[in-house]
Amino acid sequence: MPYEPVRVGCIGMGWWSDVLADAIKRSGTLKIVACYTRSEQKRRAFASKYTCKPAPSYEALLEDRTIEAIINTTPNNVHAETTQAAARAGKHVFLDKPIANTVGDARALTQACRDAGVVLALGYQRRKESHFRWVRRQIEAGVFGKVVNAEANISRDRLGQIDLTSWRYTAEGMPGGVMLQIGIHYTDVLEYLIGPIKAVSGRLAQLVLPGDNPDVASLVLEHENGALSTLNASYASASEYYAMNIYGKEASAYYDLHQGLRFLKRGTERSTPVTCEKNDPIAEELEEFAAAVRGDGQPEMDGERSTASLAVLLAGIKSAREGRRVEVAEILA
């Protein structure tokens, strides 16, 4: 039988909070009942837009016993503080990626949720996109044979669009710049498709955007199964673009934002289009969270997996800064 919608409070009123709130409305498995951010203007605007109560403080929101869970889109450097407070109050937490800026904070908030017996889910919606799900099914079925290599690109145009007062565009708020902010989406997909990453070689550059953070990043990723993959991430491109090619001994798949998914088997000369019905990955991850809160299943990306995902990016940042290959185990030590 259908679940009662999970009653949630939203904290952190940035642009992504509205993206998640819109997905909540599409899903219907959660209901926004309250919100809080330090800016009274922002929280009143959000409350009006989503017909919920603006809480006078985060403490007041957590004290509200009708609220079952928190949708947390606060800055990375307060993820540990805000999530631990939610856990102590017995609230489940949906937290946007990355889990934190440091492995120490990631582990602390994960442990707090475990100790409190509350669900912790992380927002990694890209892995849920229908084309990547299709590729994963083919890999699991053995269609690709041994997967040996992949290349990915995730790029956006941020020239003239960034707010240098926002934590998202500062070295303190988002270490590694574009690498941590959007590159993490595709390092996650590469791990999802190929397997865990054991070492990273990275390079960073600041070429177009103002401020103190890299706007271009490149990574070479060594997977535990021996495969190699590459990732390029950019905020300095002419347009938005996403692409990923997966190469196996028996088959390959090619995806990009404009042409969709194509597939090529050994012995054929041309790739053929693959029709994947467009899905709603953000709504799906929220529905998965709601189901877990109701005791049905577990989040695909929990605290432990998201800490490992963060470590890959931190290895890339350390590699770029020190000019050497860095093993992920070094970051997790």
List the domains of the chain with CATH numbers. 6-124+283-300 (3.40.50.720), 126-279+310-332 (3.30.360.10)
Residue pLDDT, tens place only, 260-282 = 999 999 999 999 999 999 999 99
Nearest residue to 287 (alpha-carbon basis) of 92, 28, 8? 28
DSSP result, 184-241: HHHHHHHHHHH--EEEEEEEEE--SS-SSS-SEEEEEEEETTS-EEEEEEESEEEEEE
Residue pLDDT, tens place only, 289-325:
999 999 999 999 999 999 999 999 999 999 999 999 9
pLDDT digits (tens, 9 = 90+) for 224-239: 999 999 999 999 999 8
Q: Please give the Cα distance from 228 to 248 (Å, whole number).
A: 11
- Looking at residue 315, its pLDDT comes to 98
Report the SS3 class of residue 91: coil
* Phi/psi at 36 (5° precision): -150, 135
d(CA 190, CA 153): 11
Give the pLDDT score at 1.
45
Q: Is the predicted pLDDT of residue 153 greater than 90, yes or no? A: yes
Taking the alpha carbons of 75, 121, 311, 80 in that order, is the dihedral positive or negative? positive
Is the full-model pTM beyond 0.85? yes
Share the mean pLDDT of the chain: 96
Helices (H), 96-179: 103-116, 130-140, 178
